[in-house]
Structure 1
Amino acid sequence: MEVHQLATSLTYGDAISDEMLEIQSVLRAAGFKSEIFTRFCDPKLAGLAHDFREYWQYSSRDNVAIFHFSIGSPVSRLFFRLPDKKIMIYHNITPHEYFLDCHRILARECYKGRLEIKLFVDKVDLVLGDSEFNRQELEAVGYRRTGVLPILINFEKFKTPPDPVARKIYNNGRKTILFVGRLIPNKKYEDIIKVYALYKRYFEPRSQLILAGDYRGLERYLAGLLELVDRLKLQDVYFTGHIPFAELRACYEAADVFLSLSEHEGFGVPIVEAFIQDVPVVAFKAGAVAETMNGGGVLLERKDFLSIAALIDLIIRDDKLRSRILAGQRKALEKYRQEKIASLLLNYIDQVIKG
């Protein structure tokens, strides 16, 4: 029996790509032959994926094909023509309006992707959202057989040592606010910067803000953020760009608080990563954020920048409050244990095989 995965890309450091590799490991351990097929493959991951057009050589009515849908692409059109039993995992598509001012190609692809998702309602055996928020989107457009499969995260990789150079740079005695995520407008980096400006001015001058995320292709948005930093006369703001995992580990290690003010999230992998690494999380309630946090962290119902800055100061200074938050986050993590998600995945595959 063969269970293969298809996606638009396999990219180093990308959450969906990491999950694909984890799923492949689970499938192979369960005895399935399993390969990955993509349109684009990061050179750093060369040899781990085949060109998606080669899938016809593997395709069979006896196979299960899993497609990771996160943006419109030719891969989706191939997937829906396959004779294989089909599972689609929907990772959500950011509404195109967020990109109109900074990346017209991405705006177009997101717009097309949200149209495309409606075209294949009767062409898959099972469709999974990586959150209930995503599952409800699928149900709303007409998918009948749906489920939830949280993103499969390997907790063990967070035990690897941080990069020593990055550790020395960021562990500098300053109170540290961290956000991790691709530099795109829906993440509302500008709001994080405004909160940090208030925190630094009124609560802790010896502080720093680390914004860890890939900004390639989003240079126009980055330029606006740099202009904001300059206008606010801020110092100690670090845009890391795309960094190796060991450097990201150093960022989490340095962090006193993880702050997310994103306005659209289909899941929120960095929130779970912060939970794993015992960083208190403060996050705005948008999309699947509350679901991802699973009762852990501190959930914001509204954006009052000064109040958020004061809350961050309280969490950093109040050891008892911080301990309660971390205890809640550790409890929330039970939902994402690798063995639980792996078992759920294999159960869904078994359902599709049995029809």
Structure 2
Amino acid sequence: MKAESETQTQKAESTELEQSSFSLSALSFPLKIGYDGKRAANNLTGLGNYSRSLIEHLAHQFPQHQYLVYAPKVKSAKQIDAFFEKDNIELKLPQNGSFLWRSLNILKDLVRDEVQIYHGLSHEIPFAIEHTRIKAIVTIHDLIFLRFPQYYKFIDRKLYEWKSKSACKRASKIIAISEKTKEDIIDLYGINPEKIEVIYQSCDDSFKTPFPKETLSRIRATYKLPEKYILNVGTIEERKNLKLAVQALKEVNKDYKLVVIGKQTAYFKTVEKEIEKLGLKNRILFLKNIPFADLPGIYQMAGVFVYPSFYEGFGIPIIEALYSSVPVVAATGSCLEEAGGPDSLYISPTDANALAKAINQIVENPQLQKEMKEKGLEFVQKFNSPVVTQQLMDCYLTL
């Protein structure tokens, strides 16, 4: 009996060792990592840029792995074409496409392609993936549709909630893009904090290198940019609170104009009325459809960047501004302090006078400008692509 018991113990230890060694050795083998590529393959802004940047940096920093991007279709565009030309990034279109492919039928493709990790880059993962051997991660950018439901149609709000809540419960791991988003996931969905990892976003590398003077001069002439200006970038919608920046401009140093870059929504009419009421039409320039290649140059020539949004999941435009050595004034109440750091200035999103005061404080004080630029650039290195990419790969390897 004793011999038999020892044999069983040895077998158990051997099996345990094999499992352990498999787990450890798997880290050195090439992984097949699949991604929800709907936006990477079709969107030229926002989540499209985020998705491509994340996968590109992984592919560059960890070239031993394969990165399979699953999308129902692909758009022909310079940014997207260049993305799929990378050696270890492969576009995967559906073999049997349907409108439910990303939610259900994609599982057959993932199993066939022997994908080991699947990353839903925006709030959703396929249903029933938890019943396969594939480890699923979901990125949650924000739960604004629950915090500020008035900004969303009822059906959209319910669909977003259903998909994201389900994904959070079924995923092996959740990535929140800020501590504030993590708090929201815990508070609103009741998720165990240990299941959530905060991994910040970076911005495109083109914002991290100053443009030559000749390029800046060309950009200034092309868009008729004023000599001195305050910059705001983002969709012109109620949540982004551009109206506050307009109200503040009335009390801002008259040498400065306001340059606004972003897609216009119905809220734009509200902003127009405020501009008319305050007589500021000659001090505001709206730019649309700016080529992405010129955007860093517009940032780099700005005197101040303002971001008075009521609520954000993170705030990539703030990161872009800090990398461009531009002082930032942002709003309190969400996660913008996480993005802007301790040396940016913050005001209530309902206080136009405070915003005007903060802008004037910066533009009229060269020494403060210098300090904010230097300290902001130092702070933003925590979001640099190699740092964030390493954190993401570490997260994959702990699954």
| Fold agreement, TM-score > 0.5 | yes
Cα contact 1:266–1:287 (8 A) shared by 2 = yes
Given residue 198 of structure 1, which amino acid in structure 2 is its aligned partner?
E
Q: Name the SS for the 1:9 alignment partner.
A: coil
What is the DSSP-based 3-state SS (H/G/I as helix, E as strand, rest coil) of the residue aligned with 1:58?
A: helix
Q: Aligned with 1:255: secondary structure?
A: coil
Q: Post-superposition shift, 1:324?
A: 1.8
Q: CA deviation at 1:156?
A: 4.6
What residue in structure 2 maps to residue 24 of structure 1?
55
2:138 to 88, 102, 105: 88
Instruction: For residue 177 of structure 1, give the secondary structure of its aligned residue in structure 2.
Output: strand
Match of 1:305 among 317, 337, 352: 352
Partner amino acid for 1:36? V
Return the index of the structure with the highest Cα Rg: 2
Aligned counterpart, 1:195: 248
Q: Unaligned 5+ residue runs, structure 1?
A: none
Change in CA separation of 1:172 and 1:344 when aligned onto 2, cut-off 3 Å: same
The alignment status of 1:142 with 2:190, answered yes or no, reads yes
AA aligned to 1:209 is L
- The 3-state SS of whatever aligns with 2:247 is helix
Shift of 1:6: 0.6
Q: Does 1:343 align with 2:373?
A: no
Q: CA RMSD in A?
A: 2.8
> Structure 1 residues 337, 43: closer, same or farther in 2, change over 3 A?
same
CA distance in 1, matches of 2:283, 2:144: 30
Could you tell me the percent identity over the aligned residues?
16
Contact preservation (8 Å) 1:9, 1:39? no
- Equivalent in the alignment of 2:166: 119
Q: CA deviation at 1:213?
A: 1.2
Query: 1:2 and 2:35 equivalent?
Result: no
- Does structure 2 conserve the Cα–Cα contact (< 8 Å) formed by 1:260 and 1:283? yes
Greater mean deviation of Cα atoms: 254-263 or 326-335: 326-335
* CA positional deviation for 1:279: 0.5
Call closer, same or farther: CA 1:40–1:113 in 2, change over 3 Å: farther
Q: Is the 8 A contact 1:178 1:211 kept in 2?
A: yes
Runs of 4+ residues over 6 Å off in structure 1: none
Q: Which secondary structure state, in structure 2, belongs to the residue aligned with residue 5 of structure 1?
A: strand
Q: Deviations over 1:104-153 (max 9, x none)?
A: 4xx63234212332234431110010111111222221322110111133
Q: Could you list the per-position Cα deviations for residues 25-59 of structure 1 after superposition, in whole angstroms to 9, with x for gaps in the alignment?
A: 23323121112234575542555455563844233
Q: 1:7 Cα deviation (Å)?
A: 5.0
Contact 1:163 1:249 in 2 (8 A): no
* Equivalent residue letter for 1:95: F
Contact 1:167/1:247, CA 8 A, preserved across alignment? no
1:1-355 equivalent positions in 2, closer than 5 A: 1-10=31-40, 12-29=43-60, 30=62, 31-38=64-71, 41-44=74-77, 45-47=79-81, 48=84, 50-51=92-93, 53=101, 55=106, 56-59=108-111, 62-70=115-123, 76-78=125-127, 80=129, 83=132, 84-95=134-145, 104=153, 108-140=155-187, 141-144=189-192, 145-159=195-209, 161=211, 162=215, 165-168=218-221, 169-173=223-227, 175-199=228-252, 203-204=253-254, 206-215=255-264, 218=265, 220-234=266-280, 235-301=282-348, 303-352=350-399
Q: Give me the whole-angstrom Cα distance separating, in 2, the residues matched to 1:299 and 1:79.
A: 44
Q: Could you list the runs of 5+ residues in structure 2 that have no partner in the other structure? A: 1-30, 85-90, 95-100
Identify the structure with bigger relative contact order (alpha carbons < 8 Å, sequence gap 6+).
Answer: 1
Alpha-carbon contact 1:257-1:279 (below 8 Å) kept: yes
TM-score when normalising by structure 1: 0.84
Task: Report which stretch shifted further, 47-56 or 30-39.
Answer: 47-56
Whether contact under 8 Å (1:149, 1:345) holds in the other structure is yes
**Aligned pair in 2 of structure 1 residues 115, 258: CA closer, same or farther (>3 Å)?**
same
In 2, Cα distance between the equivalents of 1:18 and 1:79? 28
Classify 1:307/1:160 alpha carbon distance in 2 versus 1 (closer, same or farther; 3 Å): closer
**TM-score normalised to the size of structure 2?**
0.75
Is the alpha carbon distance of 1:124 and 1:318 closer, same or farther for their aligned partners in structure 2, counting shifts above 3 Å? same
